[in-house]
Amino acid sequence: MFADFLRRMTAPAPEPLNEADARLALAALMVRIARSDHDYAEVEIDRIDRILMTRYGLSPFEAAALRQEAEILESEAPDTVRFTRAIKEAVPHEDRLGVLTALWQVVLADGNRDMHEDTLLRVVANLLGINDRDSARARQQAGG
């Protein structure tokens, strides 16, 4: 379903994503983080939907539809390293900082800072080109 999208994202020199594709890619990354502890909890799903509504001005229906597409994309996406590097190439740095804050909100949504989620998010921050200091600041802004 997303083969062309993924091929474009993982090309050696990907073109910047248009707004709709960037939303989808970033939503898929939130889903990947939430699923990393093998407990894709309802509270994490709700948090993803709320982040999408706030970040992009979507209705609850639109946010849920975007998340559902992102769930499919995440399951078809390549390994996290290539997927995240593709997002890095396609999304401006200042937007990536906001994305990291949103990712931390997803990790912290269930009140449990799981080791798998925490480790994956540290790797993702590095792959997005975000240093430890800015990642810590993003975590604090997210409530952690």
Give the separation between CA 130 and CA 128, rounded to whole angstroms. 6
pLDDT at position 70, please? Answer: 94
CB contact set of 42 (below 8 Å; sequence gap of 6+) = none
- Over residues 96-121, the pLDDT tens digits come to 888 888 888 988 887 777 788 888 88
Give the separation between CA 88 and CA 100, rounded to whole angstroms. 12
Could you count the other beta carbons within 10 Å of the beta carbon of residue 116?
Answer: 14
**Structural domains of the chain ordered from first start:** 17-141 (1.10.3680.10)
Higher-pLDDT residue of 111 and 125 is 125
Longest distance between any two alpha carbons in the chain, whole Å: 38
The answer to whether the predicted template modeling score (pTM) of the entire model surpasses 0.85 is no
